[in-house]
Chains A and B, each alone.
Chain A
């Protein structure tokens, strides 16, 4: 059983189109994330949800809209795709340890990634 699964694995589309990536985790985690990895391999956090509530929203264009129907699912919808959106998008999950870091630690389990190519 895959712990964090994303679909689709590959997505090739034209500029201006709208697309979605879906993510599901079966680890019982309460927090889920979207990260973007660009061609230089930098992994940048985009969003985080805890129990369906948005808790992290980095400076991301509002063409990107995450949705979490329940704590096991987190989807990412992208409107009006641009060339610069081409990247690998990773979903991840963890147990929530609080935004102050606390005494716990957010250890992330990642999905295999969804490679988006915008032509």
Chain B
């Protein structure tokens, strides 16, 4: 069966450290993968997109990797800040649809 799995447990880190979130998938062949941020009571907000032929993408303190062999994407936030605390969702493309993982809640402590 098709699955997208993100760390189900919340990730707690200290301010200034690098947060690494994982997205694994099975039985999908996505042309691209996206990461979104969701704050409580709000809709998801797009952060980054990486295509199947790209290994790595960066945007300011954010970095995404995409390994189609391992069927995994890693999302890194360097020099994390309390304002980075939120739920992060990965989403992959399949047949014109965007399929979301269940998200990982990140908490950055001062």
Contacts and interface: CB of A to CB of B under 8 A. Distances in A.
Interface in B80-97: 87, 89, 93, 95-97
A76 to B, nearest CB: 15
Contact of A98 (B41, B46, B96, B103): B96
Interface residues on B, range: 20 to 34
Contacts of A92: 43
B43 A110 contact: yes
A15 to B, nearest CB: 25
Contact of A113 (B32, B43, B99): B43
Interface residues on A, range: 20 to 34
A101 B31 contact: yes
Interface of A: 4, 35, 40-45, 48, 55-56, 90, 92, 97-102, 105-113
Interface of B: 31-32, 34, 36, 41-46, 49, 51, 87, 89, 93, 95-100, 102-103
